[in-house]
Amino acid sequence: MVACCAMADTELFPRPLPDLAEDDRPDVSLVVPVYNEERTIEQVVRQAVEVLETDTRTFEVIVVDDGSKDGTWGVVERLHAGDARVKAVRFKRNFGQHPAMHAGLVRARGEIVVTMDGDLQNQPSDLPRLIEAVAGGADVASGRRLGREDSWGRTLPSKLINGMLRRFTRADISDFGCAFNAYSRDALTPVLGVIGKQKFTKALVLAAGAEVVEVDLDHRAREDSSRYSPLRLTRLALHVLAGFWPQPIQWAGILLGVLCGTFAAVVGIWATVVWILNGDFPGQLYLAGLVLGVLAVQGFILALVGEYLGRIQRDVEGRPLYTIDKELV
């Protein structure tokens, strides 16, 4: 067992999944992003290892510490010291769940890659069901949380976001927010360049045309409070609009331009009729029509600006996803 410490390693561009000889490649890679999960991560990893050992498939576990401020990394180091199949990466600071997911996925060597949280909301005992679904031919085994015990403040926004993602990705699944999923290696490779920059890894894979089956999973409530506040969920919904709805600013601009242009025409005709019938110039009506006309022009300009912003966003999102403090391999 060797602990390799890569100080201040910056991952600017996503690297491809490792290309290994068949003898070196495990069958299954389990990726577990964690943040301040000192109380649960050891139980999660040990239960997962026990479950995976009941199968004939070889495996590895990759824990990504997203800059935890508690003793999570110490627990992970101890797990690695006791089992060489447990790998780990530690970020220099907190970068977020999705960059952490990317760091694990690009290091995963298995033909089947499973992702799960480290908070015990999902049960490691469900791992074989997800793995078998992908081994049976599916590109993605999508976890569907049964008996979800979260509060309405979490479930209601989740239903809204799920509906948006179903509409934009055209993938007819019920639970985009479940992080407990399994992927074939071939399904992940085309979208590695976007994972981490965009949220919802599963939605990105499905939007690329992957075949999916849903797998029912047990689910329990968090022991501590959820990190997704109403404000954060609102920002997440806006991220879905920006990331999965093609050209949202253009649509808003076109809608504004068409509506205001239509109203401007109606008000202008109305003002002209009033002027003819009454013989009195309706200055206020013409002024209202002029204002609406200006708003219509602004709407179409906004649509044009949105097109430029969309092209710029696609070309210049080259910021580092994360910086690595230590890596245990």
CB 66 within 8 A of CB 97: yes
327: pLDDT strictly greater than 90: yes
Strands 86-91 and 112-115: unpaired
For 50-99, write each residue's pLDDT tens digit.
999 999 999 999 999 999 999 999 999 999 999 999 999 999 999 888 88
Per-residue model confidence (pLDDT) at position 119: 86
User: What is the per-residue pLDDT across 103-119, written as a single tens digit (0 to 9) for each?
Assistant: 999 999 999 999 999 88
Radius of gyration for the alpha carbons in the chain, expressed in angstroms and rounded:
25
Q: Which residue has the tokens 């000889």?
A: 21
pLDDT in tens, 139-189: 999 998 876 655 555 566 667 777 777 777 777 787 887 889 999 999 999
**What are the residue ranges spanned by the domains of the chain?**
3-245, 248-315
- 3-245: CATH class: alpha beta
How much is the mean pLDDT over the chain?
A: 81
